Every structure is written in structure tokens, then in C-alpha cells.
Structure 1
Amino acid sequence: MSNIATVLARKGNLFVSVNPEQTVLEALQLMADRNVGAVVVNDADTYHGIFTERDYSRNVILKNRHSSETKVKEVMSVNLPEIKPLDTLNHCMQLMADHNVRYLPVMEEGKMNGIISITDVIREKVIDQKEVIKQLKEYIQG
């Protein structure tokens, strides 16, 4: 069974990040350029939170704020549950469901090690299921 480290090994643990002082517009442009739905908010080596498309819609658009004037630090998601590389996919899915989030930071020894999305988790679960089916077929055909 896969764990978070397996997911990061498959997709890579590189992540797109912005500084908390950048504007929402700058973050959105970077997200569009990199085709991602979330960016890590950090400065130097300090993790502050994650800014997502959901944060934009709920904390900027619906509150009639201006993307070019609002700083990412004002609208980002903070205090998200953290996961570790050796955590299971099931644990990750449970945290996402319990906290109604689609992205979680992967932390190791207090440092940001990557970001996991619900899409990453589902993709890995599908791969796991295909492997189980393959093994069952081999066993039956034995």
C-alpha cells in the first residue's frame, strides 16, 4: 500500500510558492502559468500556509475585494493539518474529509517537503487498485 512518500516520488516534491506579501493577482497569474490550483505561501524557509482557488473565490470575490490590492497573507488557508511522508493515503484522505480541504502540506522535520492534493491521492489509489487486481488475476491464473 502506498504512502505519501510514494505519491511525492511519483509526482515530484517540487511545489509552486509565493511570498505572503505578493498580491492575489500575482499568485493567480503564477497558478495559471503553472497550471496548479494551489500555491504554498512561504518566505525563505518558513511555511505560512496555502493559497487555493477556493480561497480566492471565498475570500476575495465573494467579499468584493480587489485581487491587485489584496495580499496573499490576508486570504490564504492557515493552520491546515500537516501530513508526513510515511503517512498512509487513508490517513490523508481522512484529514482532507474531516477538515474539508483539497490540499495538505507535507512536512518533515519542520520543513516543507511538498504538497498533496486530493487528485494526487485519488490517482495513487487507482494505481494501488490496479496493482491489487493484477496480483489477484495472477494468483487465480496461477
Structure 2
Amino acid sequence: MQLKEILEAKGRSVLTIEPTASLADVVTRLCEHNCGALIVYQDEKITGIISERDILRAIAEVDNPLEEISVKTRMTRDVVTGSPQDNINDTMGVMTRNRIRHLPVLDEGKLAGLISIGDIVKAQHEKFERENHLLMAYIQS
């Protein structure tokens, strides 16, 4: 299974935020959309990613209120990305090795979607359920 199949099933819309926004803005967006990360996007380019983990680190390390801390000071700048043709098993390895839970997907350099570890688990679970159903039907026939 390739990442493009997951994106086709879940949709390709991606929540973004500007680097000048505050961490309070990030928290609001994450809560509104029940998600764990936002792509930091400026001039049609990914400049970073900001996740719940980045927010927690900011709370632990900085005394300023979240309204006074900008995204660009706390975002992850070296963003690991994937492509629609990437295999789901390889992607699981990349995410595990890099200790990340969200992977932006780029298609010819353009943002094509965002895959979470939850999306991968769901896709794998559905695959195993289908295979199990087919095997049970075969055994019972």
C-alpha cells in the first residue's frame, strides 16, 4: 500500500499556520480540528511543522505566555517528508526512526497531504481485517 491510497481515503486537506502566529493560535487550531500538528507554511513552502509535543516543550522551557511565543521560535525546521508513492511499511520505519507522528507528503515539491501515525495504523488494521475475512472465507469453503 502506498501513501497516496491513504490520502485518497482521508482527503488531502492540510491545516497550516504562518510562522508569525502565536502558540496560543496553534493550540486553538489543534483543538478546533482535533489534530496533533500543523504545517508551518509561508509563500507556498513548508517552513516547519508544529506539534503538540512542541507546545509542551515550550510550556516546560519558557516562562512567557503562549500568546507571546511565535510559531517560528518553537517549530521543527528540519521536516521529514514523504511522497505519495512511498510504501506504508517504509513510512512506518521512517516515522519510528525519526520519532515523529506526522509526515507531510510532497508531490513534485508541493504539499499533497499530511499522514499521521494514526492514519497508518488505521490503514494497516483495515488491511489485516480484509485479509482475515478472506482467509476465514477460504477456510470455511
Query: Which bin holds the TM-score, normalised by the shorter protein?
Result: over 0.9
Unaligned runs of 5+ in 1: none
Per-residue deviation, residues 4-43 of structure 1 (Å, max 9, x unmatched)? 1111111111011101111111111111111111111102
What's the secondary structure of 1:62's corresponding residue? helix
Q: How does 1:8-23 map to 2 (within 5 A)?
A: 8-23=7-22
Partner of 2:41: 42
Per-residue deviation, residues 53-85 of structure 1 (Å, max 9, x unmatched)? 001111x11112431111111111121221111
User: How far apart are 1:3 and its partner, in Å?
Assistant: 1.5
User: How far apart are 1:105 and its partner, in Å?
Assistant: 0.8
Taking only aligned residues, the RMSD between alpha carbons, in angstroms, comes to: 1.2
Q: How does 1:41-80 map to 2 (within 5 A)?
A: 41-58=40-57, 60-64=58-62, 65-80=64-79
Percent identical pairs in the alignment equals 29
What TM-score, normalized to structure 1?
0.93
For residues 86 and 139 of structure 1, the distance between their equivalents in structure 2, rounded to whole angstroms, comes to 31
For residues 129 and 3 of structure 1, the distance between their equivalents in structure 2, rounded to whole angstroms, comes to 15
What's the secondary structure of 2:104's corresponding residue? strand
Unaligned runs of 5+ in 2: none
Give the total of aligned pairs: 140
Deviating 4+ runs (over 3 angstroms): none
What TM-score, normalized to structure 2?
0.94
For residues 78 and 61 of structure 2, the distance between their equivalents in structure 1, rounded to whole angstroms, comes to 21
